[in-house]
């Protein structure tokens, strides 16, 4: 199993969700996050005063999928979340050791 | 029959007066000259004065004789002064003075002590704050002779809430001072039956407090009103014996007088000591009743805070609920007073409203313009507004004032997000806005500053109140809310632009969250489209705040710092777009709104004339000004020739004036207008300078006339226009005009000072260098700034002036020789400006 963690633009959440749905992935966790990558924020000016916007609002979408689906999921997310501009985000793939369903306590394979 | 001349009947003024006194003396000798006897005596004096008034020719002129103080209350004692007000309708002339002499001299001749005041009706326009005793005596005013309608006019002028409040305050001070002279105890061995604690003055003061605050107050007091009446009769009977014995206005019940008084009042006892003890024990018993009543009245009396409104321990009350029930237009005042005084509306007042509210329709609550203003003022976001609106909602008033709101009362809409009924969600948006207005949380200050900059925040609250009323139906609620809100803005008779703003906010209340949360706001086109949609900074500010408080009112978790940041960024980007890029977006032939403007044009304007005027002006112009204002500008620019200036000056509302100037391109025009306005002491608060490629310049300034020059000078209007015309056309020099004001120029008005911000930017606009300036607002600030810009050889093409309290926020679009400024030129200009502005710190 793989945990796929996607940091994307806030306005791309719906498109990413639709793309994942097409791969029959229903369960996901979506979180509001703030951070920066290469984009490192930018300088905004309000009424003549500069202020540095270092942490940008992003969305984090997390899904856990079987190993054999990981590549397709990554491709789908990248395609859905891309604008081609700086600040499109990142996708991380992490191994998942074990997974349990809380309601039943049963271990999932 | 005449009193001043002996008549065949033999009656004279002396005889009439003597007869009255003899009768009262006889009563006093029997110890019976209490209330009834004094009333009889007062009535006889009335009759005497009426005859004297007629003899003096009073009935042929507009004058009243009015009894004041104890005589006004018909408690005139044997040796009391007769306090009178002689009131003339108009300014007193020689004839009136002759009348006065003819009226007063005979009274003096027979030795009556008259305490008279002479006034003209207009004297009561102002409150005489240097004579509290006189004001108190006026409360007992009673017409004796003359014209009743004049007396009624005097009453209307005199009895105002503010006068009552002032008198009450003075009365309480006088009581404290008087009591201090008696060591604040009623148990005096030789009490003064007029002045001592528990004596006659205290009794009158108790009633006066009731009269000024709550007519029903004394009925709820610790003493049965009948016992207070008995105390009064006793004290008056004692006083009469003192006046009889002393033959003068002497009120101290001395040991010697105690024996005589006890005898006259018929107290039993073999020894004088026993009779005196019984008298004094009665005296203390009555004085205690009076003292307790006064103490209770002082503790419980509501402080008058408006017409029929009092501030008491349980909040704002109607002083007379019966009157309140009949006057629904005064109810909103109770909620306003509660906000003003940081308290609740009392349960009693809420019950009164609840009991009667169903009898009235929406219009009954704001029948005239002043009431509509009261309602709008009530909607100003500040501490207490949510609580008061909730009280109004609970007692049924809110739903009557706004039947549209009633439609969403307890309305449940099931979705994944909302946690409250629609009405409560709506009221919570207002609570959130009120919290922003009061917040000190560092992360929220940026929004507080935006709110502080909104010119009419009450319109935002009105929009919030109505934004979800369409949810009584299940389909597109924003459209339905607008349909319903139109009735409200019609009933409130809002100004055209205010009306448009409220409807715009309601119709598009979801738009900003949609763009902020669901669109790529880093895409300049998204911001550009949103800015075009919003149109003006004012609407942007309101919509940003509306979005914030609306999201926050969905549930405690809905507004995250993350969402707050997205809203803020979209606000900043849109604000920058609106203020810095509008010079690049000029009105085109197929511009939205242009068709309507041409179609609706008045008969005296042609399509060609309007189109030619608009050609090359920024698109923003169409959003900044109403259709009527645009038509006025077109007329102003009509037939203008080089070296001519066309001007108009009008009052936009009670405090704000608008001057519009058109001319063909003049160097330093902007600076000159600012200079002239400053030389007249005008405080410029908003303004726009616009140019079109044909060389036409249109400058529109809004200013306040803090020194009331235009109000106090009948010719001021013309004088200001004249000077403007002379300066703009070069016939006189603004520098010399300003010389007298050099001290005032750039003197900030004492508020918090901060370092000025000056920033030049060549990126934002394709055509102009943008100069952002934020500085302490001060008289002449704009003049100084624009002089520096001219000194640096730059042309001012467009200007946007705004103020937020003591902060001036100005955006200049400038060029030098038709191009943007180079880096070095920007540097030179900003340094020069900073030097000038810092010089003012």
In tens, the pLDDT along B432-441 reads 999 999 999 9
Quote the CA–CA distance of B597 and B600 in Å, as a whole number.
5
Instruction: Find the CB nearest B562 among A14, A34, A46.
Output: A34
Model-wide pTM > 0.90: no
Quote the CA–CA distance of B471 and B464 in Å, as a whole number.
13
How far is residue B99 from each of residues B57, B122, B141, measured CA to CA in Å? 7, 20, 21
Residue that has been written with the tokens 């703009």 in this structure: B728
**Å from A11 to nearest chain B CA?**
4
- Is pLDDT of B393 > 90? yes
Helix (H, G, I), strand (E, B) or coil at B468: coil
| Secondary structure in 3-state letters for B49-71 | HHHHHHHCCHHHCCEEEEECHHH
CB–CB of A83 and B757 under 8 A? no
**Å from A47 to nearest chain B CA?**
6
Task: List Cβ neighbours of B352 (8 Å cut-off, separation of 6 or more).
Answer: B318, B321, B324, B325
Q: Provide the pLDDT for residue B691.
A: 84
Instruction: Please give the residue that has the higher pLDDT: either B411 or A100.
Output: A100
Helix (H, G, I), strand (E, B) or coil at A64: strand
**Adjacent-strand bridge partners of B442:** none
Locate the chain A residue with the closest alpha carbon to B568.
A46
The class (CATH top level) of B328-584 is mainly alpha
- The structural architecture, per CATH, of the domain B166-301 is Up-down Bundle (1.20)
CB–CB of A49 and B566 under 8 A? no
**Å from A78 to nearest chain B CA?**
16
> What phi, psi does B656 have (nearest 5°)?
-115, 135
Tens-place pLDDT, residues B586-608: 888 777 778 888 999 999 999 98
- Is pLDDT of A80 > 60? yes
CATH of span B13-159 = 3.30.460.10
Handedness of CA B600, B604, B605, B607 (dihedral sign): positive
CB–CB of B772 and A48 under 8 A? yes
Locate the chain B residue with the closest alpha carbon to A49.
B757
Q: What confidence category does residue B652 fall into, taking pLDDT thresholds of 50, 70 and 90?
A: confident
CA angle B84, B85, B86 (to 5 degrees): 115
Quote the CA–CA distance of B734 and B676 in Å, as a whole number.
6
State the count of interchain CB pairs (< 8 A) between A and B.
51
B826 to chain A: which residues are within 8 Å by CB? Answer: none
CA angle B640, B620, B530 (to 5 degrees): 170
Instruction: Find the CB nearest A83 among B520, B521, B569.
Output: B520
Quote the CA–CA distance of B589 and B734 in Å, as a whole number.
39
CA angle B656, B658, B660 (to 5 degrees): 170
Q: What confidence category does residue B752 fall into, taking pLDDT thresholds of 50, 70 and 90?
A: low
**Å from B211 to nearest chain A CA?**
56
- Is pLDDT of B392 > 60? yes
Q: Among B44-58, B399-413, B597-611, B729-743, which is the least confidently predicted range?
A: B729-743
Tokens of B826: 């920007």
A57 to chain B: which residues are within 8 Å by CB? Answer: 562, 565-566, 569
- Is pLDDT of B737 > 90? no
Q: Name residues 7-66 of chain A within 8 A of B (Cβ).
A: 9-12, 14, 32-34, 44-50, 53, 57
B250 with B243: CB under 8 angstroms? yes
Tokens of B790: 């001219």
Handedness of CA A45, A46, A47, A50 (dihedral sign): negative
- Is pLDDT of A93 > 70? yes
- The structural architecture, per CATH, of the domain A2-108 is 2-Layer Sandwich (3.30)
CATH of span B646-838 = 3.40.1020
Quote the CA–CA distance of B810 and A83 in Å, as a whole number.
36
**Kind plus residue range of the DSSP H or E element containing B667:** none
Instruction: Find the CB nearest B757 among A33, A49, A87.
Output: A49
Q: Which DSSP category does B396 fall into?
A: T
Quote the CA–CA distance of B509 and B838 in Å, as a whole number.
42
B569 to chain A: which residues are within 8 Å by CB? Answer: 44, 53, 57
Quote the CA–CA distance of B345 and A14 in Å, as a whole number.
49
Locate the chain A residue with the closest alpha carbon to B515.
A11
Locate the chain A residue with the closest alpha carbon to B513.
A11
Q: Provide the pLDDT for residue B7.
A: 41
Quote the CA–CA distance of B300 and B429 in Å, as a whole number.
37
- Is pLDDT of B283 > 60? yes
- Is pLDDT of B763 > 50? yes
**Å from B591 to nearest chain A CA?**
29
Asked if A84 is an interface residue toward chain B (Cβ–Cβ < 8 A), one would say: no
For the segment B250-262, the average pLDDT, to the nearest whole number, is 95
**Adjacent-strand bridge partners of B646:** B662
Instruction: Please give the residue that has the higher pLDDT: either B590 or B611.
Output: B611
Q: Among B13-22, B182-191, B354-363, B701-710, which is the least confidently predicted range?
A: B701-710
**Å from A80 to nearest chain B CA?**
14
For the segment B449-462, the average pLDDT, to the nearest whole number, is 94
The distance from CA B96 to its chain's CA centroid, rounded to whole angstroms, is 39
DSSP B707-770: T-HHHH-TTHHHHHHHHHHHHHTTSS-HHHHHHTTTTTTT-B-SS-----EEEEESSS-SS-EE
Domain ranges of chain A: 2-108
Tens-place pLDDT, residues B459-491: 999 999 999 998 888 777 888 999 999 999 999
**Helices then strands, each counted (H, E), chain A:** 2, 8
B758 to chain A: which residues are within 8 Å by CB? Answer: 48
Tens-place pLDDT, residues B118-150: 999 999 888 888 888 999 999 999 999 999 999
| Mean pLDDT for chain B overall | 89
B559 with B552: CB under 8 angstroms? yes
Instruction: Please give the residue that has the higher pLDDT: either B779 or B700.
Output: B700
Instruction: Please give the residue that has the higher pLDDT: either B352 or B688.
Output: B352
Locate the chain B residue with the closest alpha carbon to A35.
B562
**Angle in degrees, 0-180, between the axes of helices B200-213 and B225-246, rounded to the nearest 10:** 140
Locate the chain B residue with the closest alpha carbon to A11.
B518
How far is residue B652 from each of residues B155, B453, B631, B649, B705, measured CA to CA in Å? 35, 19, 16, 9, 12
For the segment B350-356, the average pLDDT, to the nearest whole number, is 96
């Amino acid at each position: 199993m793989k945990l796929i963690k996607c940091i994307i633009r806030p306005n791309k959440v719906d498109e990413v969700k639709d793309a994942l749905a097409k791969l029959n992935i229903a369960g996901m966790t979506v979180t509001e996050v703030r951070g920066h990558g290469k984009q490192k924020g930018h300088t905004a000016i309000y009424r003549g005063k500069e202020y540095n916007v270092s942490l940008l609002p992003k969305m984090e979408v997390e899904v856990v999928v079987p190993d054999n689906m990981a590549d397709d999921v990554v491709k789908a997310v990248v395609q859905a979340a891309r604008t081609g501009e700086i600040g499109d985000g990142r996708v991380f793939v992490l191994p998942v050791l074990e997974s349990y369903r809380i309601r039943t306590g049963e271990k999932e394979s | 029959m005449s009193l001043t001349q002996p008549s065949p009947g033999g009656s004279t003024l002396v005889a009439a007066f003597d007869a009255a006194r003899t009768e009262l003396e006889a009563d006093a000798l029997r110890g019976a000259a209490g209330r009834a006897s004094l009333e009889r005596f007062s009535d006889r004096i009335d009759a005497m004065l009426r005859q004297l008034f007629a003899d003096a020719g009073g009935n042929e002129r507009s004058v009243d004789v009015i009894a004041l103080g104890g005589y006004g209350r018909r408690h005139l004692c044997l040796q009391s002064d007769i306090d009178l007000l002689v009131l003339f309708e108009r300014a007193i002339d020689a004839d009136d003075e002759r009348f006065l002499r003819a009226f007063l001299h005979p009274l003096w001749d027979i030795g009556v002590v008259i305490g008279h005041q002479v006034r003209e009706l207009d004297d009561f326009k102002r409150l005489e704050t240097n004579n509290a005793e006189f004001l108190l005596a006026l409360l007992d005013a009673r017409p004796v002779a003359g014209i009743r309608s004049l007396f009624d006019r005097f009453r209307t002028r005199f009895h105002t809430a503010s006068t009552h409040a002032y008198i009450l305050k003075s009365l309480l001070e006088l009581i404290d001072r008087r009591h201090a002279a008696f060591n604040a105890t009623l148990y005096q061995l030789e009490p003064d039956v007029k002045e001592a604690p528990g004596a006659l003055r205290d009794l009158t003061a108790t009633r006066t407090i009731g009269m000024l605050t709550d007519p029903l107050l004394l009925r709820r007091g610790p003493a049965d009103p009948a016992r207070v009446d008995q105390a009064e009769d006793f004290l008056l009977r004692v006083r009469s014996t003192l006046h009889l014995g002393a033959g003068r206005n002497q009120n101290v019940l001395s040991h010697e007088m105690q024996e005589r008084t006890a005898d006259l009042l018929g107290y039993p006892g073999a020894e004088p000591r026993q009779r005196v003890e019984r008298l004094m024990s009665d005296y203390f018993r009555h004085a205690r009743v009076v003292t307790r009543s006064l103490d209770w009245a002082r503790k419980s009396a509501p402080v008058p805070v408006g017409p029929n409104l009092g501030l008491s321990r349980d909040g704002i009350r109607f002083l007379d609920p019966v009157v309140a029930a009949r006057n629904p237009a005064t109810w909103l005042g109770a909620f306003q007073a509660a906000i003003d005084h940081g308290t609740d509306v009392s349960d009693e007042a809420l019950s009164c409203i609840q009991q009667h509210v169903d009898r009235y329709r929406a219009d009954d609550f704001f029948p005239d313009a002043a009431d509509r203003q009261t309602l709008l003022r009530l909607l100003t976001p500040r501490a207490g507004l949510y609580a008061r609106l909730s009280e109004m909602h609970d007692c049924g008033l809110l739903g009557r004032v706004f039947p549209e709101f009633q439609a969403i009362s307890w309305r449940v809409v099931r979705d994944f997000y909302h946690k409250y009924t629609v009405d409560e969600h709506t009221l919570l948006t207002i609570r959130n806005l009120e919290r922003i207005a009061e917040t000190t949380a560092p992360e929220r200050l940026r929004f507080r500053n935006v709110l502080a900059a909104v010119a009419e925040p009450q319109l935002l609250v009105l929009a919030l109140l109505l934004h979800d009323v369409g949810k009584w139906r299940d389909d597109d609620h924003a459209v339905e809310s607008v349909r319903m809100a139109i009735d409200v803005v019609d009933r409130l008779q809002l100004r055209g632009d205010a009306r448009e703003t409220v409807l715009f906010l309601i119709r598009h209340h979801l738009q900003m969250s949609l763009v902020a949360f669901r669109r790529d706001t880093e895409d300049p086109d998204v911001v550009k489209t949103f800015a075009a949609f919003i149109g003006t900074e004012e609407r942007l500010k309101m919509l940003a705040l509306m979005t914030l408080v609306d999201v926050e009112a969905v549930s405690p978790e809905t507004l995250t710092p993350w969402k707050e940041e997205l809203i803020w960024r979209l606000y900043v980007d849109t604000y920058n777009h609106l203020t810095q890029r509008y010079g690049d977006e000029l009105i085109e032939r197929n511009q939205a709104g242009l068709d309507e403007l041409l179609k609706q044009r008045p008969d005296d304007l042609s399509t060609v004339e309007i189109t030619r005027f608009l050609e090359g002006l920024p698109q923003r112009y169409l959003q900044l000004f109403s259709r009527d204002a645009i038509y006025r500008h077109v007329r102003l620019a009509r037939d203008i020739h080089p070296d001519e200036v066309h001007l108009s000056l009008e009052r936009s509302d009670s405090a704000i004036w608008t001057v519009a100037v058109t001319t063909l391109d003049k160097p330093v025009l902007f600076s000159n207008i600012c200079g002239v306005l400053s030389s007249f002491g005008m405080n410029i608060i908003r303004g726009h300078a616009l140019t079109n490629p044909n060389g036409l310049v249109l400058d529109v300034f809004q200013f306040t006339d803090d020194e009331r020059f235009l109000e106090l000078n009948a010719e001021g209007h013309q004088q200001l226009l004249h000077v403007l015309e002379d300066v703009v056309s070069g016939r006189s020099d603004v520098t010399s005009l300003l010389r007298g004001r050099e001290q005032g120029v750039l003197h900030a008005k004492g508020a918090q000072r901060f370092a000025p911000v000056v920033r030049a930017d060549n990126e934002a606009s394709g055509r102009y260098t943008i100069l952002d300036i934020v500085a302490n607002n001060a008289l002449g600030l704009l003049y100084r700034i624009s002089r520096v810009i001219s000194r640096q050889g730059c042309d001012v093409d467009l200007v946007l002036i705004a103020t937020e309290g003591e902060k001036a926020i100005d955006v200049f679009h400038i060029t030098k020789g038709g191009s943007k400024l180079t880096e070095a030129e920007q540097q030179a200009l900003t340094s020069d400006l900073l030097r000038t502005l810092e010089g003012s710190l």
